[in-house]
């Protein structure tokens, strides 16, 4: 009898536990069904990238832009050689849109590429050069893809349209021949006339002398070179950009930005220039050579 009661009590406790578990699961399912789904939190939009993240702003000076320069070092094909430096500065600002891209006073450096002197019989003197860099007032340096386009106001030189910007000297051999003739013909005639007086044929001697003067003029012209290319200091030179020129704020700003070249300040301990020696005055008789 007792064992039956114990069995019934155990079964009752197990059934109660099962019922409690079922009710708890049912209540959790109902609560989950009753609660609405919460939408996932939207991600905050990323901030726009700053100019520092994008890199420096680039300004473009288009190809074909012409820049007026002034030569600061004279060039002559008689003394110039390939590799010599050419030094210029800009005389008028270059504006793209509403901003000055290349201000007046910018330094430009170039290099002589080819020098060809004029021949005795034919051939004109020629000079090729290219521009290598622009130095802005704040000290920043930019490579420049430019060549000579024109020499405004030049009367003795022309720029050939050969894609190289070749500067060519205009021919003037006739001027040289005329100068030789001014001396050779009268001199020859005079000498011939004097010789003809002694032989009794002054007119014939004069004509023979003139002929000799003409021959001398022809020989002098044959052995005279054509004029050299001579571009004096201060000549206006027009440069044209063969490709676009790209600039940054560091080039256009007054300070040049970070890493710009510092202002040059003379050092207190800088060596002074050597003074010229004072030569002793030499006393000698008046009219003597080398005396003062």
d(CA 207, CA 214): 11
- Hey, is 164 helix, strand or coil? coil
What is the pairing mode between strands 126-135 and 107-116? antiparallel
pLDDT of residue 208: 54
pTM of the predicted model over 0.85: no
pLDDT of residue 148: 94
Instruction: Kindly report, residue by residue over 174-206, the tens digit of the pLDDT.
Output: 444 445 445 444 554 454 444 445 555 455 554
- Which residues does residue 169 pair with via DSSP β-bridges, in sequence order? 157
Does pLDDT of 8 surpass 80? no
Domains of the chain, each with CATH number or no CATH: 55-171+228-252 (2.40.128.260), 173-222 (no CATH)
Determine contact, residues 126/136, Cβ cutoff 8 Å: no
Report which of 115, 113, 133 is spatially closest to residue 124, judged by C-alpha positions. Answer: 115
CA pseudo-torsion sign 258, 261, 264, 267: positive
Eight-state DSSP code of residue 256: -
Instruction: Kindly report, residue by residue over 236-265, the tens digit of the pLDDT.
Output: 999 999 999 999 988 888 755 444 444 445
Q: What percent of the chain has pLDDT over 70?
A: 49
């Amino acid at each position: 009898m007792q064992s039956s009661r114990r069995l019934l009590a155990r079964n009752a406790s197990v059934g109660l536990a099962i019922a409690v578990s079922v009710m708890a699961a049912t209540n959790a399912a109902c609560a989950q069904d009753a609660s609405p789904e919460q939408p996932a939190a939207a991600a905050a939009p990323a901030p726009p990238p700053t100019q520092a993240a994008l890199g420096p702003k680039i300004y473009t000076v288009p190809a074909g832009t012409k820049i007026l320069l002034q030569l600061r070092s004279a060039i002559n094909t008689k003394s110039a050689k390939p590799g010599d430096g050419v030094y210029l500065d800009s005389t008028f600002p270059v504006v793209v849109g509403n901003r000055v891209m290349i201000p007046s006073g910018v330094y430009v450096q170039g290099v002589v590429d080819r020098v060809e002197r004029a021949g005795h019989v034919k051939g004109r003197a020629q000079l090729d050069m290219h521009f290598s860099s622009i130095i802005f007032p704040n000290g920043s340096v930019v490579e420049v893809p430019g060549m000579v386009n024109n020499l405004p106001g030049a009367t003795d030189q022309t720029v050939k349209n050969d894609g190289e910007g070749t500067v060519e000297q205009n021919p003037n051999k006739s001027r040289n021949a005329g100068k030789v003739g001014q001396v050779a013909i009268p001199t020859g005639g005079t000498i011939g006339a004097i010789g003809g007086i002694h032989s009794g044929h002054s007119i014939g001697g004069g004509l023979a002398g003139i002929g000799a003067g003409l021959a001398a003029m022809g020989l002098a012209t044959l052995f005279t070179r054509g004029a050299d290319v001579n571009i004096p200091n201060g000549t206006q030179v027009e440069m044209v950009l063969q490709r676009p020129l790209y600039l940054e704020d560091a080039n256009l700003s007054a300070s040049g930005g970070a890493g710009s070249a510092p202002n040059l300040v003379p050092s207190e301990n800088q060596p002074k220039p050597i003074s010229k020696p004072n030569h002793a005055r030499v006393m000698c008789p008046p009219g003597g050579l080398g005396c003062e």
